[in-house]
């Protein structure tokens, strides 16, 4: 197919539609229509605040959608990714009991059941089969709710989208569940070029057997829609013939898919009305609204999404994606859309696009995009006196406009975006690592558009901090750049090195505007960039949240504890009762660096250091076993890159150093080089620790860049 001129913008609209649907429907997931109508009437707006819920939450619909599609790139085979690799992707990014899924147990949660099959060595697609899991469990809703991105990477190619959706959905589902997933993916793919809803629905059912139950659902609901002319009446028909009481399990595909067809049919060109119908209809509201929103987003575009209601700015594109890899915990809709579009271009054979604004981290290059920047409340808890919106810049480029008024030294306007999410928020578990670390510098470029009175602007970073030498976070610390006076029409650049003493992570970055009592105006932010390499030094224990969680590290372990009574110095011990556990930090921007530590094995089959971590199945490790020291490549299986006999006494601390530079991997023990290997499989990723069936400990953790020369 010829290249679609506005492909990236349509992907962005589809991502927005997906996320908006989740944020719309999440506060009343599982409610029935009569209760929703009695409480709100028509649910055509965000109601999270009515229930005392935050709008932006972790949710399996969002995290699964934007994680499982990574199989296409991770395999390196894109549209030709083998069916079993989709299951391997689950094992790479899922931490059992913590990330992405509803961990409801074998036979209750379809996804958990499939994960247990994968863990037992049963590959996909058999892991999700009716043969193993039965017709009720295998035909719940999950295959549909994770599938949208497989349509976004196949623009204008619904058959290709269906072909990708089948193995992706079959990791955990079978039968009608996979049929529903193929319908959704193919409709999204077709919507890039076809804007007639009737034709999109026809295309959706064309990719599944005509005698399937999902195909019959489509025929019935569309017939009822034409005859009824009232969605409430059609809803009653759906309840009678396809209601949840007819199908078993916690959340069956068929009833919920029927509601989606109803919403598309009754609101073929109206994003808000489609959301109102699907949310007011009830049942699995966040899942249903998300799938409806993804199709509608691509179909109506960015203008259509916000035509009658501002869906976008209340959450400023913010997304939370907790996975075992960790670096994408805090993300935004535009970043994820461009990642998906890059994969789509590979699959379609289209040329890569130049990265926006010279590969700036935040570039605001799509209408409405905010990269998570929002006005903060004041220090007194009142609404901030600023405003944020995406506008067209002086040269036609998109920029972020920050307006301010009523600023004073004790009443600043702060606009920030998260780089790490604090544990303990509502929703699924918060698991992840910060975007920024000590050793890196943030640079913001912009200009003063309007200025009245005396005002200045400066960057800030908000960092967790301990009490003295404590490793427990007791407060937040604001670190600022030097202020710059705002002069109308003048450009400015702000730079700020990131804090992070003792390993405490940065939580937010942003700008702070202060001035005299009559100061008012606006600034245009063009780009935000990040430079530098990590320079992390943690003298003893890892930093912890006041709630007990390790801060800024992914922990797939059973316990993390402080020193034992016999230890003369503070330590961090971590353990895994069965199998392999990891404790890691960092991002996929980390390339050439050294991780070093004083390390001990208390009682474990093996343990050591990790580098270039990209998930539970993808990392390089230096491990001490009972009688040797090994360099190991873990890449969906273990390859020993080098090994040397080695004995040390249980409980003794030894200096371990693992350096990765280009394709060269070097290990040092107690100041001497002991192993060296060359491998180009993994060239970037985070760092940390690994333990196999047991407990190990460490102190004096450092991660530093490898310098030229």
pLDDT of residue 246 exceeding 80, the answer is: yes
- The token pair at 577 is 């009762």
Distance CA 425, CA 428 (A): 8
CATH superfamily of 374-533: Galactose-binding domain-like (2.60.120.260)
- CB-based contact 217:254 (threshold 8 Å): yes
- Predicted confidence band at 614 (pLDDT cuts at 50, 70, 90)? very high
| Helix/strand/coil percent split, the chain, to 5 | 30, 30, 35
Q: What is the pLDDT of residue 577?
A: 96
- Predicted confidence band at 371 (pLDDT cuts at 50, 70, 90)? very high
Which residue matches tokens 């913008």?
9
Residues of the chain with CATH 1.10.4080.10: 7-320
pTM, two decimals, is 0.96
Q: What is the pLDDT of residue 708?
A: 63
- Predicted confidence band at 228 (pLDDT cuts at 50, 70, 90)? very high
CATH number of 7-320: 1.10.4080.10
pLDDT of residue 709 exceeding 60, the answer is: no
Pick the closest to residue 403 from 525, 517, 509 (CA basis).
525
- Predicted confidence band at 209 (pLDDT cuts at 50, 70, 90)? very high
Q: What is the pLDDT of residue 564?
A: 83
Q: What is the pLDDT of residue 240?
A: 97
pLDDT of residue 276 exceeding 70, the answer is: yes
Distance CA 542, CA 490 (A): 44
pLDDT of residue 458 exceeding 90, the answer is: yes
Helix (H, G, I), strand (E, B) or coil at 141: coil
Distance CA 220, CA 212 (A): 13
With 0-12 / 13-18 / 19 or more C-beta atoms within 10 angstroms meaning exposed / middle / buried, residue 173 is buried
Helices 197-206 & 253-266 angle (0-180, nearest 10): 150
Residue 294 vs residue 541, higher pLDDT: 294
Percent over 90 (pLDDT), the chain: 88
Q: What average pLDDT score do residues 420-434 get?
A: 85
Q: Per-residue pLDDT tens for 23-60?
A: 999 999 999 999 999 999 999 999 999 989 999 999 99
**Considering Cα of 678, then 684, then 689, then 692, what sign does the dihedral take?**
negative
CA dist list (Å): 453 to 488, 516, 518: 10, 7, 6
Q: What is the pLDDT of residue 582?
A: 98
Distance CA 625, CA 276 (A): 59
Percent over 70 (pLDDT), the chain: 99
Residues of the chain with CATH 2.60.120.560: 557-705
Q: What is the pLDDT of residue 311?
A: 97
pLDDT of residue 253 exceeding 60, the answer is: yes
Phi, psi of 412, rounded to the nearest 5 degrees: -75, 160
- Predicted confidence band at 471 (pLDDT cuts at 50, 70, 90)? confident
Q: Per-residue pLDDT tens for 302-320?
A: 999 999 999 999 999 999 9
Distance CA 315, CA 334 (A): 13
Mean of per-residue pLDDT scores for the chain: 95
- CB-based contact 429:103 (threshold 8 Å): no
- The token pair at 84 is 């079993």
- Predicted confidence band at 649 (pLDDT cuts at 50, 70, 90)? confident
Residues whose CB falls within 8 Å of the CB of residue 256, separated by 6 or more in sequence, listed in order: 141, 144, 283, 284, 287, 288
Q: What average pLDDT score do residues 291-305 get?
A: 97
Question: Which CATH entry fits the domain spanning 557-705: 2.60.120.560, 1.10.3720.10, 3.40.50.970, 2.40.160.10?
Answer: 2.60.120.560
- Predicted confidence band at 179 (pLDDT cuts at 50, 70, 90)? very high
Distance CA 503, CA 197 (A): 52
Dihedral angle computed from the Cα positions of residues 205, 208, 210 and 211, in that order, rounded to the nearest 10 degrees: -130
Q: Per-residue pLDDT tens for 520-560?
A: 999 999 999 999 999 999 998 999 988 888 999 999 999 99
Helix (H, G, I), strand (E, B) or coil at 143: helix
- The token pair at 222 is 């569309």
Residue 149 vs residue 395, higher pLDDT: 149
**Considering Cα of 158, then 163, then 169, then 174, what sign does the dihedral take?**
positive
Residues of the chain with CATH 2.60.120.260: 374-533
Q: What is the pLDDT of residue 250?
A: 86
How many residues make up the chain in this entry? 709
- Which of 289-298, 563-572, 684-693 bottoms out in mean pLDDT, i.e. has the lowest? 563-572
- The token pair at 204 is 């959706």
Distance CA 343, CA 74 (A): 11
- Give the helix/strand (H/E) hosting 688: strand 686-705
Q: Per-residue pLDDT tens for 671-688?
A: 999 999 999 999 999 999
Q: What is the pLDDT of residue 74?
A: 98
Residues whose CB falls within 8 Å of the CB of residue 709, separated by 6 or more in sequence, listed in order: none
């Amino acid at each position: 197919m010829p290249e679609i001129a506005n492909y990236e913008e349509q992907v962005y609209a589809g991502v927005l539609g997906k996320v908006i649907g989740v944020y719309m429907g999440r506060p009343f997931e599982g409610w029935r229509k009569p209760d929703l109508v009695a409480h709100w009437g028509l649910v055509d707006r965000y109601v999270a605040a009515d229930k005392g819920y935050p709008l932006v939450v972790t949710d399996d619909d969002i995290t699964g959608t934007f994680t499982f599609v990574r199989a296409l790139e991770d395999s390196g085979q894109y549209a030709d990714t083998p069916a079993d690799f989709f299951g391997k992707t689950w094992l790479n990014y899922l931490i059992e009991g913590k990330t992405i899924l509803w961990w409801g147990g074998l036979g209750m949660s379809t996804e958990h059941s499939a994960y247990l099959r994968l863990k037992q060595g049963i590959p996909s697609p058999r892991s999700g089969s009716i043969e193993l899991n039965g017709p009720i469990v295998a035909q719940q809703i999950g295959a549909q709710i994770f599938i949208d991105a497989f349509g976004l990477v196949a623009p204008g190619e619904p058959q290709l989208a269906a072909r990708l959706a089948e193995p992706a959905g079959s990791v955990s589902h079978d039968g009608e569940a996979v049929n529903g997933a193929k319908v959704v993916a193919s409709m999204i793919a077709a919507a890039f070029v076809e804007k007639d809803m009737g034709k999109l629905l026809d295309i959706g059912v064309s990719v599944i057997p005509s005698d399937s139950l999902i195909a019959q659902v489509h025929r019935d609901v569309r017939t009822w829609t034409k005859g009824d002319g009232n969605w409430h009446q059609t809803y009653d028909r759906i309840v009678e013939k396809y209601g949840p009481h007819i199908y078993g399990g916690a959340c069956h595909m068929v009833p919920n898919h029927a509601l989606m067809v109803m919403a598309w049919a009754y609101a073929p060109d109206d994003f808000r009305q489609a959301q109102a119908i699907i949310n007011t209809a009830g049942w699995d509201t966040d899942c249903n609204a998300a799938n409806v929103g993804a199709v509608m987003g691509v179909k109506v575009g960015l203008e259509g999404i916000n035509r009658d209601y501002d869906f976008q700015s209340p959450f400023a594109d913010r997304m939370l994606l907790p996975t075992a890899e960790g670096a994408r915990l805090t993300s935004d809709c535009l970043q994820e859309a461009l990642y998906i579009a890059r994969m789509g271009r590979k699959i379609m054979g289209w040329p890569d696009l130049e990265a926006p604004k010279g590969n700036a981290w935040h570039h605001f290059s799509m209408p409405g995009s905010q990269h998570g920047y929002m006005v903060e409340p004041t220090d007194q808890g009142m609404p901030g006196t600023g405003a944020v919106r995406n506008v067209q810049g002086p040269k036609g480029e998109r920029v972020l406009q920050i307006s301010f008024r009523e600023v004073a030294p004790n009443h600043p306007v702060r606009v920030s975006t998260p780089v790490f999410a604090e544990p303990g928020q509502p929703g699924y578990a918060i698991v992840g690592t910060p975007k920024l670390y000590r050793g890196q510098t943030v640079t913001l470029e912009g200009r003063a558009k309007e200025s009245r009175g005396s005002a200045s602007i400066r960057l800030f970073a908000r960092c967790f901090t301990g009490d003295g030498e404590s490793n427990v976070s007791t407060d937040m610390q604001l670190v600022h750049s030097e202020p710059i006076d705002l002069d109308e029409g003048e450009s400015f650049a702000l730079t700020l090195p990131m804090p992070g003493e003792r390993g405490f992570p940065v939580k937010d970055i942003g700008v702070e505007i202060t001035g005299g009592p009559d100061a008012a105006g606006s600034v245009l932010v063009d780009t935000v960039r990040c430079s530098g390499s990590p320079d992390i030094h943690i003298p003893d224990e890892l930093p912890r949240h006041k709630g007990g969680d390790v801060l800024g590290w992914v922990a797939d372990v059973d316990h993390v504890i402080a020193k034992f009574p016999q230890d003369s110095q503070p330590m961090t011990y971590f353990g895994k009762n069965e199998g392999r556990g990891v404790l890691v930090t960092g991002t996929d921007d980390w390339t050439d660096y050294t991780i070093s530590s004083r390390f001990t094995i208390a009682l474990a089959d093996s343990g050591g250091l990790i580098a270039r971590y990209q998930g539970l199945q993808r990392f390089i490790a230096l491990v001490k076993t009972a009688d040797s020291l090994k360099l190991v490549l873990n890449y969906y299986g273990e390859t020993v890159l080098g090994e040397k006999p080695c004995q040390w006494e249980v409980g003794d601390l030894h200096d371990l150093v693992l350096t990765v530079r280009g394709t060269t991997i070097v290990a040092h023990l107690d100041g001497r080089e002991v192993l060296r290997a060359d491998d180009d499989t993994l060239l970037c990723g985070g760092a940390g620790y690994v333990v196999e069936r047991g407990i190990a400990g460490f102190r004096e953790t450092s991660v530093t860049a490898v310098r030229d020369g």
